[in-house]
Amino acid sequence: MTRRLRLTLRVDVDDAPAIGHGKIRLLEQIEQTGSISAAGRAMGMSYRRTWLLVDSVNRLFIEPVVAARPGGGGGARLTESGREVLALYRQAEQQAIEGAADSLRRLEEYLAPVLS
């Protein structure tokens, strides 16, 4: 079995992790399911953890990226800013992957084989 490397992007703010692959996947799940709790369930996260992550992302930006409809069970959606943050992250990620492709291919040559 051949081992493959995968590059992911994490954005730090003021030397602290701010947003990365997991939170971006959560935003994509919210957009897809229309629900914060359903997005968390789809990712195997507890209700509390999901809400804490959404709150941390909302506080990171000048405008909320997720808007929850009040009243429990009312659903949620990405705001216009949220869709833009998501698109910009994915664009930066793609640029990083393309820029690192040659180095990653060479790095793979040094990986130990998988032992069965």
Q: pLDDT tens for residues 88-97?
A: 999 999 999 9
**Residue 21 resides in a domain:** yes
Domain residues for the domain of 95 are 12-108
pLDDT tens, position by position, 52-89 = 999 999 999 999 999 988 766 669 999 999 999 999 99
Structural domain includes residue 3: no
Q: Domain for residue 70, yes or no? A: yes
Number of domains in the chain: 1
Residues counted in the chain = 116
- The answer to the question of residue 5 being in a domain is no
With b meaning 16 or more CB within 10 Å and e meaning fewer, what string describes 14-23? eeeeebeeeb
Taking the alpha carbons of 19, 43, 85, 53 in that order, is the dihedral positive or negative? negative
Does 73 fall in a domain? yes
